[in-house]
Structure 1
Amino acid sequence: MTFNVLPGASDMLDVIERYKRLYTGLVYDIMDEMGLPNQSLATDLRPLRDDMVIAGPAFTVQGISDPVGDPGLRERRIKMFGDMRHPCIDVRDCGFDTRVAHYGEMNAVLGSAKGVVGAVIDGGIRDSGLILKMNFPCFRRYHSPVEAVARWSYYRWQQPITLRGSMSATVTCRPGDFMFGDIDGVLVIPQERAIEVLRLAEEHAATETRARAEFADPTKDAEEVYGRYKKL
């Protein structure tokens, strides 16, 4: 995947840090104005801790129910993690399963070693206390102590996946689409629009900063300030 990185932004890490200085409400508004209103994931996808933020290109994983046990699970998992590259977000389509934990501490440990900088699990997690101790950014739908082995397994990865949406029933996430999430939710930003969204969001954020300062100034006429910033 190739990003059209702005001049002066040396690599994807710079893009990630710039996104992290923003917030999802602002970025969503920009995408809405650009005709991309359906890129917000389901509202019950929440961060494991409220201050966790994720930003980075998606490494997509699709799983399926596995009632008999995948005999090649260990090898498949090792191959999958071996394909991950820094920096990426582990994004999992869990097939609408609501029974088991699709992610746990060992996934976070293996992923971190391969350069994963966060996870979005459209399903369940376990070992939550251990993941919190790692300070590993993780978004999930629910918690479950139930092991996934012989109940759910990896099907394929680095293919387009389907995640549950908030403004639409589902959101397609492709390998390399830019994931951005905070306490308010998670956005899937099409990779070919990620830099454009970033530029516009940064411009809007700068305007918001000026507006906040003026609204907070008791010497300023609030109606006059509002008139200049009413589009915010």
Structure 2
Amino acid sequence: MGMTASEKESIRLRYLEVDTSNVADVLDNMNLLQQGLAADFGPYPETCKRMAGWAYTIRGQMTPYPQGGDADKMQACQGLSPGEIGVWSGNGEGICYFGELIALGMKERGCVGALIDGGIRDVRWIGEHQFPVFARYKTSVQSIGRWKVNACQVPVYMRGHDGGNVIVRPGDFILADEDGAIVIPVEHVHTVLVEAERLTEIEKNIRKEIANGLTLAEALKKYGHV
């Protein structure tokens, strides 16, 4: 899907104005039923309310290796571009995939957040840098010597809402907010956005009508169910 940088950024900013709940409903109506991520993905720190961006995938695995740094992780992050979200996938349980310094390096490249199917640490400091992260858990245990990046910009699996897997490909779109995180396939990104914006506008009108004295039943009769 060929888009200019300005077109991609315009779409990203528009997605920041819609909710994952509306996007999820649109995807269901399109019979794209396996796009929602597991319920334990949450914001770190909690003050991080939402993020939206294009997927840049990073994959790793548990493997023992000597202490002394992880050049592969640093190298993988060098390919990040403005407007992208680092999507970290792998089988590391109980360890963090990255902390403050990697987050700073990502932010320097214009990265707008991270989605981690694993752990994070340095939560307070990442919050100080206003770098949004949605992860499954936090832990003080580092990845060095335990978990190593083995690929980037390849399709990856992330834990899905029903215990299955959600495939995230490079260039797919990620939206996360207070209700959770969801993946929009790139080929549907514009169609989903337009419909989610339509639902958002209807909901705004319903809230306004109820605030002005209309009953819920009367508002739904006027605007329909959303």
TM-score range, shorter chain: over 0.9
In 2, Cα distance between equivalents of 1:134 and 1:51? 11
Distance 2:2 2:52 in 1: 16
Give the percent of matched residue pairs that are identical in Structure 1 and Structure 2.
33
Establish whether residue 91 from structure 1 lines up as the match of residue 91 from structure 2: no
The question of whether the paired residues in 2 share the 8 Å contact of 1:56 and 1:88 is answered with: yes
Aligned partner of 2:2: which letter?
T
Q: Which one of the candidate residues 145, 148, 158 is aligned to 1:153?
A: 148
Within the candidate set 200, 219, 222, 1:225 is matched to: 219
Q: TM-score, normalised by structure 2?
A: 0.92
Number of equivalences: 225
Using the alignment, how far apart are the partners of 1:66 and 1:224 within structure 2?
Answer: 60
RMSD of aligned C-alpha atoms? 2.0
**Does the residue aligned with 2:96 lie in a helix, a strand or coil?**
coil
Q: Which runs of 4+ in 1 moved over 4 A?
A: none
Show structure 1 runs of 5+ residues with no match: none
Matched-pair contact (CA < 8 Å) for 1:61–1:158: yes
Shift of 1:69: 3.6
Aligned to 2:63: 66
- State the Cα distance separating 1:67 from its structure 2 match: 0.9
Tell me which amino acid in the other structure corresponds to 2:223: Y
Give distance in 1, aligned partners of 2:69 and 2:215.
69
1:12 equivalent among 4, 8, 15: 8
- Kindly indicate whether the alpha-carbon contact (under 8 Å) linking 1:93 and 1:123 is maintained by their aligned counterparts in 2: yes
Contact 1:38 1:168 in 2 (8 A): no
Pick closer, same or farther for the CA change 1:86–1:227 going to 2, 3 Å: same
Alignment of 1:1-232 (within 5 A): 2-3=2-3, 10-48=6-44, 49-69=46-66, 73-74=70-71, 76-95=72-91, 97-167=92-162, 169-218=164-213, 220=214, 222-232=216-226
**How far off its partner does 1:215 sit?**
2.0
